[in-house]
Structure 1
Amino acid sequence: MTDRDETTATTTDRYHYTRVVDIDGRTVRARVDRDRYINRSLAVAEVLNEHLTWTTLAAEAPSTWWHDTPNATSRVAAADPARFLRPVTDPLLRRAATILASPPTTTTISPHLHGAIAALLATSHGYNAEYHIDPDDITWAHTHGGALHIIEHPDGSVVFTKAHRPNCPFITSAGSSDCDEDCYFPHPADHHHDLDD
């Protein structure tokens, strides 16, 4: 864990400390707000996610540290908030490091589904096809059309579809019912922009 930055702030009713660290290449921050009132105080550890927003990893109940820190109106606390709140961030950041060190969950696919993906590639691009999909294409696919649904049928066939909404009868019945024809996703070329006058 490598410290990258820290900031403090004080007002008449509260003082604040933020500590930013690097944990195995991930940016993590611990924030502690010590308010005059315990129910308006907080201590959290957050990780910067791929969307450049903060996701909470851990929190510490104010009842475990609030009584051990000076009142928000204290001149001592106002002069050096980090002195009193940095010790609160230490266990939070250790817990965050433990959470981030956990192996990510992976999804494995069955050999049958793997074969179906190979068949999709072969039938769309040739029996000896190789096809590279860029991250931009993946993002585009996530933001256009419906969600990807994969339906494996008892006869061994597999349906890959982005043409149905999640509550469509075709999806909810795993392909045994027909679509109710209420699945509509605008074509990307039909997107219109409103222009300001």
Structure 2
Amino acid sequence: MTAGTSYYYHRIVHLGSYTLRAQVHRDITPYNSYGTAELLSADLTWTNLKWTHGERWTKDTPQPCDVTDAKAVLTNVADELIRRATAILHNGTAVPQQSLDLMGALLTLAYGSTGEHAITAADVRWAKENGGPFRVVPKPDGTVLLTKAHRYDCPLLATQGAEACDDRCLPTNPPPSRSDWSSQ
């Protein structure tokens, strides 16, 4: 798309379970030109993975007054951003086995040995907005505490379980009610 003093190109790419968005904005000056590659997260917000300043590529693109097809001009910049973001995704998204084991134990405790439950984007949003931070606290006796019941500066979290909670962590909103959690 062109708009007098600038032009831009946005593209959405689906890579397996990932959704990436490339946005490239070409302004009259390199200083105001940029490109980003973003990942759509579970809570349906965009997380910036890669960024490029216009000084790297504006010399290879025409001024806004000379452009009729922004897609044709900016596709190479968008492609490079997507390639760089894809390299990050393929190298850094493996979930450690211990984390999978903990999630499996939690699922089993909540839903039984054949437990299965779908968590929606709304569930993730609600969980992020309510309660304290999610933390995994290994205990000296070999157990692991999974908690959202403590605020960020609670001594229990600040010392990774070496000190007890100071009892100033207050419960917040209960989860949204559901008529049948087991069918989710």
User: Do both share a fold (TM > 0.5)?
Assistant: yes
Give unpaired runs (5+ residues) of structure 1: 1-8, 190-197
Distance in 2 of aligned mates of 1:53 and 1:92 = 19
Correspondent of 2:84 among 95, 98, 101: 95
- The alpha carbon displacement at 1:91 in A equals 1.7
Correspondent of 1:61 among 53, 68, 77: 53
Residue in structure 2 matched with residue 24 of structure 1 by the alignment = 16
Give unpaired runs (5+ residues) of structure 2: 176-184
Higher RCO, 1 or 2 (CA under 8 Å, sep at least 6)? 2
Equivalences for 1:1-197 in 2 at 5 Å? 9-74=1-66, 77=67, 79-102=68-91, 104-109=93-98, 121=109, 130=113, 132=115, 134-136=117-119, 139=124, 144-156=130-142, 158-188=144-174
> Over aligned residues, Cα RMSD in angstroms?
3.4
Letter in 2 for 1:82: K
SS at match of 1:19: strand
Q: 1:174 to 1:60 in 2, by over 3 A?
A: closer
Distance in 2 of aligned mates of 1:185 and 1:105 = 32
SS at match of 1:89: helix
Distance in 2 of aligned mates of 1:157 and 1:87 = 51
Larger Rg: 1
Distance in 2 of aligned mates of 1:52 and 1:187 = 22
TM score, norm. by length of structure 1: 0.65
Distance in 2 of aligned mates of 1:182 and 1:135 = 33
Task: Calculate percent identity across the aligned residue pairs.
Answer: 33
SS at match of 2:97: coil
Which consecutive aligned stretches of 4+ in structure 1 deviate over 6 angstroms post-superposition?
Answer: none
SS at match of 1:135: coil
- The alpha carbon displacement at 1:42 in A equals 0.8
